[in-house]
Amino acid sequence: MPPRPFVRSAPSKVDKRRRVDIRLTHMAAADALWWDARLGPKHASMASRADRYWSWSVLLPLCHLVQRAKRRYCRPLVIWARTDSGRFLRVGMLIVIEAYPYLDIEHPAESHFVWFMSAADAGVLTTEFGMSNPPALGRVLLDSAIVLSQNAGLAGRIGLHAASAGGDGLLALYDRLGLIRLPGTAALPASVRRPNDGRFFYADEPLAEALAAALDASR
């Protein structure tokens, strides 16, 4: 069976009837440098953003090397969207850990873990980069991880931790996106090495397939 493709369009945040072309590339140092230089200073002033202090130029090699030390691999991706000029602009960043312990220990398995993900601020895209229709990226970011998990034979299972810097707003976002919140009383896989603070989310196989199928028309 051919691998499920990534999505190629997403709804505009301004006008939900409009579709914005989306493309995905692997993230290299130059992408991280661009994000840090062009979007980082804008995001740093937004107190509600969990990623306001993230330096992708540091995160990118860090994630690769820390996971290699744990004998795992990362898949860092950049999401690009078509601007009014017809050219593509970086609008999202994502680092996924492959073959990570599945958070639901009642069903021991591997999953993909969404370690870091950011969507560029829509207002900045419009005012600074001439993008009249910035795309809604929450579902695209999660879908990318689900597709990688499915194509790797992990049935779409994914997990993530909502950074506490994102507050209740980030929890609400992952709820809205349809993820399952791991109960705060649930035990975590031993290798996760952290007490459960109630901010872990995951998608099991049926949920992952439902979320992916919902975007199949956009692939």
Partner 1 sequence: MSEFMRLDAKAPATLGAVVEAVTRLSTLGEAKILELVSAGKIAELFPFSTARRDQPIPSDTLAEEELVQASPAPLNRKERDALIESSLPASAPKKSRPRSASKR
* Torsion angle of C-alpha atoms 177, 179, 182, 183, degrees rounded to 10: 60
Q: How far is the CB of 175 from partner 1 (least distance, A)?
A: 18
Does 174 bind partner 1 (CB under 8 A)? Our answer is no
Does 23 bind partner 1 (CB under 8 A)? Our answer is yes
The length of the chain, given as a count of residues: 219
Task: Tell me which residues in 64-123 interact with partner 1 (CB under 8 A).
Answer: 64-66, 68-70, 73, 75-77, 80, 82-83, 85-89, 97-98, 100, 113, 115-116
Whole-angstrom Cα distance, residue 49 to residue 42? 11
Does 30 bind partner 1 (CB under 8 A)? Our answer is yes
* Residues 50 and 165 sit within 8 Å (Cβ to Cβ): yes
E-strand stretches of the chain: 9-11, 19-26, 74-82, 88-101, 110-119, 158-161, 180-181, 200-203
Q: How far is the CB of 62 from partner 1 (least distance, A)?
A: 5
Q: Using CB under 8 A, which of 15, 53, 123, 216 touches partner 1?
A: 53
Whole-angstrom Cα distance, residue 55 to residue 159? 22
3-state DSSP percent of the chain in helix, strand and coil, to 5: 35, 25, 35
Whichever of 13 and 74 has its CB closer to partner 1, that residue is 74
Candidate segments 11-19, 36-44, 132-140, 175-183, binder of partner 1 by CB under 8 A: 36-44
Task: Tell me which residues in 119-148 interact with partner 1 (CB under 8 A).
Answer: 129, 147-148
